[in-house]
Amino acid sequence: MGYGNLTRLNIPEGDYGGELDPHGQFGDGNPIGGNVTSNVTGSNQNYAEWMQYISYNQFCIRVCTNANSTYSAAAMCWHELDEMGCEFVMPGNYQINGTFETCEADVAYPPGWYPTATANGTPVFSAFAQRYTGTLTNGQVYTVGDTATPTAPYTIPSSSNCATQATISNGIPLTSLGFAAEATGTHAGTATSKASASSATGKSSSSSEGSSSAGERNVNVGGNWFALALSLVSGVGAVALFH
């Protein structure tokens, strides 16, 4: 999760953005071609389940690899809540801007899941479905989803043992690209900037079309540093938070 002046990526000021994921209409990515590859295991590995949200001033990304008897990796990266925003689908501490840190934390429930009871020692959940109205090819209008939208996730996972890290950057000074250096961030002159927290709701007016580009970032996992290669859209570089 992170903040930035993402209007520099042609996201309009005030646009609350939307979601990128590996599914989409044809199952080839939303947008087509989007993927996450990492060498965290020692060799390049493509991950089947991930999701990224980006607005004009905030972004977050989650790669889902673990499952248990209650929920799957696909449930942890549920991809049909694109209007809910980072703070709903990936709850955490969004109040620290200008600081990059890694923490140990509890595991969150899958996005939109709310425990309602326990049956034979197993939790029972209700799941929020985002409301959507569409039109079939025959012209018939249909509506799916819940009529009431929750204001917050069930819980925000607690975190501890946080360690401040140097701000991730691509090492290219903004001044070399014709931009004035930003005042915030550990590395002066990188793409770190000030921004206030954004609302968790809103429709996107930005397009998901664009050319792909690849970037590489270093991520600390279990005390070791690995390169995380992200193939994203429109030149968007993202920070991955693992805990």
pLDDT band at 115 (very low <50, low <70, confident <90, very high): confident
Is 224's pLDDT higher than 50?
A: no
How far apart CA 241 and CA 63 sit, in angstroms, is 9
Spans of all domains in the chain = 2-108+163-174+181-233
CA 104 vs CA 51, 84, 164, 167: distances in Å: 21, 25, 12, 18
How far apart CA 160 and CA 179 sit, in angstroms, is 37
How far apart CA 105 and CA 118 sit, in angstroms, is 24
Tokens of 8: 């520099």
pLDDT band at 182 (very low <50, low <70, confident <90, very high): low
Tell me whether residue 63 is exposed, middle or buried, using C-beta atoms within 10 angstroms of its C-beta: 0 to 12, 13 to 18, 19 or more: buried
Half-sphere exposure of 161 (CA within 13 A, CB side): 6
Length of the chain: 243
User: Backbone phi, then psi, for 178, in 5-degree steps?
Assistant: 95, 10
What's the pLDDT score for residue 130? 79
